[in-house]
């Protein structure tokens, strides 16, 4: 389950980020964006977060996950559209010459703290 290592890395990054900041008393919410093709399951990330945060300074922190739909841009007809995960063919012309615009990554969007 690579979601546990993702959460461990996230917690470590947050610790480093807030270590030298006097204005952060508590991280209240962590906002993640997760693409449909990021290979990370939101429910598994939530479960991993619940386990990893126990007994840490993030025990009362919430995890907010926002899904990012898969969007492709067709190089043949230049249309840009959201598609379902699967074949990356252009939904308009059927071309296979598409590039992923969004929906294939996982990243920390922001944190809310007090």
- The domain total for the chain is 1
- Domain assignment present for residue 62? The answer is yes
Q: In sequence order, what DSSP letters do the residues of 6-67 get, joined into one string? A: HHHHHHHHHHHHHTT-TT-S-EEEEEEEEETTSS--HHHHHHHHHHHTTTSTTTT-EEEEEE
Query: What range does the domain containing 9 cover?
Result: 2-68+102-113
User: For residue 1, what pLDDT is reported?
Assistant: 61
Q: CB–CB of 67/38 below 8 Å?
A: no
Q: Establish if 23 belongs to a structural domain.
A: yes
Question: Which domain CATH number covers 27?
Answer: 3.30.2320.50
Determine the Cα–Cα distance for residues 94 and 106; give it in Å rounded to an integer: 28
pLDDT tens, position by position, 80-91:
999 999 999 999
| DSSP at 92 | T
pLDDT over 90 (residue 17)? no
pLDDT digits (tens, 9 = 90+) for 23-62: 888 999 999 999 999 989 999 999 999 999 999 999 999 9
H or E element at residue 5: helix 2-18
Pairwise pLDDT comparison (22 vs 15), residue with the higher score? 15
pTM of the model: 0.86
């Amino acid at each position: 389950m690579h979601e546990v290592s993702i959460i461990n890395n996230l917690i470590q990054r947050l610790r480093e980020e807030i270590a030298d900041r006097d204005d952060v008393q508590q991280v209240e919410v962590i906002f993640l964006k997760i693409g449909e093709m990021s290979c990370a399951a939101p429910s598994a990330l939530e479960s991993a977060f619940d386990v990893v945060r126990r007994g840490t300074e993030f025990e009362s922190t919430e995890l907010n996950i926002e899904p990012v739909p898969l969007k492709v841009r067709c190089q043949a007809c230049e249309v840009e559209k959201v598609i379902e995960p699967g074949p990356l063919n252009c939904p308009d012309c059927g071309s296979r010459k598409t590039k992923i615009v969004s929906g294939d990554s996982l990243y920390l969007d922001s944190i809310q703290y007090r």
